[in-house]
Amino acid sequence: MSRFSSADYLRPESIDPSAISAWGLLRLRQQLEQGLPLSPRPYQALAERTGLSEQEVMSAITQWQKQGLIKRFGLVVKHRTLGYTANAMVVWDIPDEQVQTLGKAMAGVPFITLCYQRPRRLPDWPYNLFCMIHGTNRERVLAQLDSLIAEHNLQHIHHSVLFSNKAYRQRGGRYVSHD
């Protein structure tokens, strides 16, 4: 797959051979970071705010989904409000040569919602693999963790469980728009 830099998505030719205003596309990304208008013709509303046509707005969104700039398009749920209040970030100190294999294995576990590798920061932070479990109560999350350890033979791997007890902010990333 070809690699795009952030700026490539603003080049008109990455959307369509016909000329679409690069400024219009930037404004569209800024608008989309705030969410879709809740009016009967939301793409027309975005067109009016960005100087693009409704058709250009829809083409750009479709194209960005195909290119992977937009990885999901829909309702962004706030799990904590719904009752997912036991959210654990589990961090592991995995030997470097095993981290990729274990990362991929954990990514396939149904109750693991996020899984990624990050650098260690020794001596304070020895952990290189992160996974998240969104749960409704602690006991259940800890039981799921026990089953994960047993199933993947992680008994000898040093880990730590960081439950979150408060969200000070949770919103979508704003890469090109201002706060």
Partner 1 sequence: MRLDHTDQQLINHYQRHLPVCERPYLEMSRQLGISEQEVIERLQSLQSRDVVGRVGPVFEHSKAGASLLAAVAAPEEQMDLVAARINRAPGVNHNYAREHTYNLWFVMTAPDNELLEEHLDELEQELKLPMLRLPMVEGYHIDLGFDIDWGALS
Residues of span 96-135 touching partner 1 by CB under 8 A:
100, 103-104, 106-108, 112-119, 121, 124-125, 128, 134
Answer yes or no whether residue 76 interacts with partner 1 by CB under 8 A: yes
Closest residue by Cα to residue 141 from 95, 100, 85, 97: 85
Residues 16-35 that bind partner 1 (CB under 8 A): 32-35
Q: Which of 14, 21, 45, 84 touches partner 1 by CB under 8 A?
A: 84
Q: C-alpha distances in angstroms, 130 versus 30, 45, 100, 120, 170? A: 30, 40, 12, 11, 19
Q: Tell me how crowded residue 163 is: count the other CB atoms within 10 A of its CB.
A: 15
Out of 77, 95, 123, 155, point to the residue binding partner 1 (CB under 8 A): 77
CB 30, CB 39: distance < 8 Å: no
Least distance to partner 1 from the beta carbon of 89, Å?
6
* Binding track, positions 137-176, relative to partner 1; x by CB under 8 A: ---x-------------------x-xxxxxxxxxxxxxxx
In sequence order, which residues have a C-beta less than 8 Å from that of residue 75 and are 6 or more positions away?
none
